[in-house]
A and B are shown apart, each in its own frame.
Chain A
Amino acid sequence: MTTTPTTTPPTTPPPTTTVPTDAPPDRPSRKVAASSAALQVGEDHHLCPGCGHPVAWRILLEVISELDLARRSIGVVGHGCYTNIVRLADIDWLQCLHGRAPAVATGVKRVRPEVAVFTLQGDGDMASEGLAEVLHAAARAERITCIMLNNGVFGDTGGQMTAASVVGQRTKTSLEGRDPATHGYPVPVADLVSRLPGTAYVARGGVGSAGAIAQTKRYLKRAFELQVAGAGFTFVEVLTMCPTGWFVPTAEGPGYLGATFEATFPLGEIR
């Protein structure tokens, strides 16, 4: 969600830049598939330089296309910077209240079991506001995929501490760094849901490096495959950069992600 919604429709976005791959490239350096996902309808977003969310959006949309789910998927999206995906991706969306996406997705999936239903939430949305909703959905073995974009900060409101902020992390509401004596410890949502028998798949990936992006895309694909197969609740946490909310230089985002977040939230398949 943008913080200052506009009533004036934006001008028609520039056409998505694609390079035909069914013909030989006119020069070798352009031998790439496409610069944006097929389901992406525009490139106009409000996210900051260095933000990891657009990468997560892209691999999510690529997975939906590659699994041929574009015409049978419904996204349920919470409140955060990532909400803007509703404006950019050509699938059915239900934008819902902060924290409640897993409950809303439950209703959608029970009515339309043939559709791939997923939530897209941040750590503020899921770990802070809506921890009960995701845990209960997992315990019920709801056939949905919940995706948490975890940057350890309320990005949309300008950089305050969430329940997933890591120890030592400086935010506008933990100025000297998250101190366990005062602020307690971060909630490892992926580890919590992995303990519930209704959960079929849990993985934690990241978008801080090319390798991690490729791995995370495989995690997302596995989660959707298992959901469609009816295996149970599936969950993918994606660590993403928020240099603005971390108060670090843009270029240092991936390094900060690896040094701080991955130490607290190790990457890999958990269940």
Chain B
Amino acid sequence: MPASLMQGSAAVAEAAVAAGCRFFAGYPMLPFTDLLEHMARRLPEVGGVCMNAESEIEGVNMVLGAAAAGARAATGSCGQGIALMQEAVAEAALNEVPFVVFNMARGQQDYFQATRGGGWGDYRTITLAPADVGEAVEHTQLLFHLADRYRAPTVLYGDYLVAHTHMGVEVEQRDLGPLPDKDWALDGTRGGTGRSRQIWTWAMGRTDAPGPGPDAHWRRLADKFDGIAATEARSAQHRTDDAEHLIVSFGTSAPFVDHVVDELRADGHRIGSFRPVTLWPFPEAALAATVAAGPCAQVLVFEVNAGQMIDDVRLAVAGRAPVRPIGGVSIDGSGMRQGALLSAAAIRDRVLAAIEEVPSP
């Protein structure tokens, strides 16, 4: 299939369909709304179902039910809607029901929400933050794969720029490797056989076929998330060799930062950038190695919020270099997307000021 010019929401919808998503439920909320509209149009064409959920709570629970019955399923929202879904996302993480949540956030102020979550219990959600529409297409298919591989809900952290930008993209079904059988999924065919299945956060099983119970079950899940943290962290770097100043940014901020890096390199500054592609697991080891390898005088964190990812950056850098925020709150007049701070000129000014304050070693 040749590349075609598509709006980000349409491209993500096509990628979800190509990945085999056949059940979607959502509640309108800008900038997520367009994805819901595309799924409502596309899924019936491929024999799937798109539900006009009456609330985000109902939507995510419908998706939990569909996924528990074995379907590839997804929902989405942003901000407040994602907040309403957190109870069910945590539940799905704890009772091991895989689905994808498309968080088309209104900016970068939901990093904590995406990486820490607001649900209960010891759980994490694999969260990918694409830099542009093309990467969102790749991530969409990868998220369905990772969800099934680990039997856990996964999250795409997009935003207005991902959802509404038009870009030439190719959407093709990707082979991401074999997956375990969904022999845990409920199909209702085993009643009375002694082999019926159950999906239950407490995992207590039937009295004649006891499950592990919550203690052993939740310790196994904690081990599972530790394993994901050790193996699934992804990151990208731009001109970090010999960099004295390292800028860390995520999602759609990163292309702006990379552009500024190129500009400043042309002016003779030894500067590079680092981007966590997975917000959770945060690529701690890769960032630490990058900082340790070079003559890094400082790590600058550019995020369009009051300072959220910087916590993870500090944990990863662990004192190897000073970590300083150069981002901030910036929302445009609509309240739906990043404001004036997300521009190459504004970022360049802040980076230059930071370079002057901390002389290179």
Residues of A that sit less than 8 Å from B by CB: 1-2, 5-10, 12-13, 38-39, 41-42, 44, 64-65, 69-74, 76, 86-97, 100, 103-112, 115-117, 132-133, 136
Q: Which residues of B contact A96 (CB under 8 A)?
A: 61, 64-65, 91
| Min distance, Cβ B207 to any Cβ of chain A, angstroms | 4
Give 18 new A-B contacts, CB below 8 A, not counting A71-B192, A87-B207, A89-B206. Answer: A5-B204, A5-B213, A10-B207, A13-B208, A38-B192, A71-B191, A90-B193, A91-B191, A92-B189, A94-B65, A96-B64, A100-B57, A103-B59, A104-B62, A104-B65, A110-B23, A112-B69, A115-B188
| Min distance, Cβ A155 to any Cβ of chain B, angstroms | 18
The complex places the Cα of A5 from the Cα of B192 at a distance, in Å, of 25
CB contact between B198 and one of A65, A92, A103, A115 (< 8 Å): that residue: A92
**A10 near B210: Cβ-Cβ < 8 Å:** yes
**B88 near A97: Cβ-Cβ < 8 Å:** yes
The complex places the Cα of A105 from the Cα of B49 at a distance, in Å, of 14
User: Which has the most chain A C-beta neighbours within 10 Å: B67, B69, B200?
Assistant: B69
CB contact between A93 and one of B58, B62, B67, B199 (< 8 Å): that residue: B199
**B62 near A107: Cβ-Cβ < 8 Å:** yes
11 A-B pairs (CB sep. < 8 Å): A2-B204, A7-B213, A41-B208, A73-B191, A87-B204, A92-B187, A92-B198, A95-B95, A107-B25, A108-B69, A108-B186
The complex places the Cα of A2 from the Cα of B202 at a distance, in Å, of 10
Asked, given contacts A5-B204, A97-B88, A115-B187, whether A107 binds B199 with beta carbons under 8 Å apart, the answer is no
**B191 near A76: Cβ-Cβ < 8 Å:** no
Q: Name the interface residues of B73-113: CB closer than 8 Å to any CB of A.
A: 73, 87-88, 91, 95
Q: Which residues of B contact A8 (CB under 8 A)?
A: 213
Range class of the B interface residue count? 35 or more
Question: Is B197 part of the binding interface, using a Cβ–Cβ cutoff of 8 Å?
Answer: yes
Residues of B that sit less than 8 Å from A by CB: 22-23, 25, 49, 51, 53-55, 57-59, 61-71, 73, 87-88, 91, 95, 186-194, 196-202, 204-210, 212-216
Q: Which residues of B contact A91 (CB under 8 A)?
A: 188, 190-192, 196
Q: Which residues of A contact B53 (CB under 8 A)?
A: 103
**B23 near A6: Cβ-Cβ < 8 Å:** no
**A71 near B216: Cβ-Cβ < 8 Å:** no
CB contact between B61 and one of A7, A41, A44, A97 (< 8 Å): that residue: A97
Asked, given contacts A92-B191, A94-B199, A103-B65, whether A111 binds B23 with beta carbons under 8 Å apart, the answer is yes
CB contact between A106 and one of B65, B194, B205 (< 8 Å): that residue: B65
Asked, given contacts A6-B213, A104-B62, A111-B69, whether A86 binds B191 with beta carbons under 8 Å apart, the answer is no
**A93 near B196: Cβ-Cβ < 8 Å:** yes
Asked, given contacts A5-B213, A100-B61, whether A88 binds B198 with beta carbons under 8 Å apart, the answer is no
**A92 near B206: Cβ-Cβ < 8 Å:** no
**A92 near B65: Cβ-Cβ < 8 Å:** no
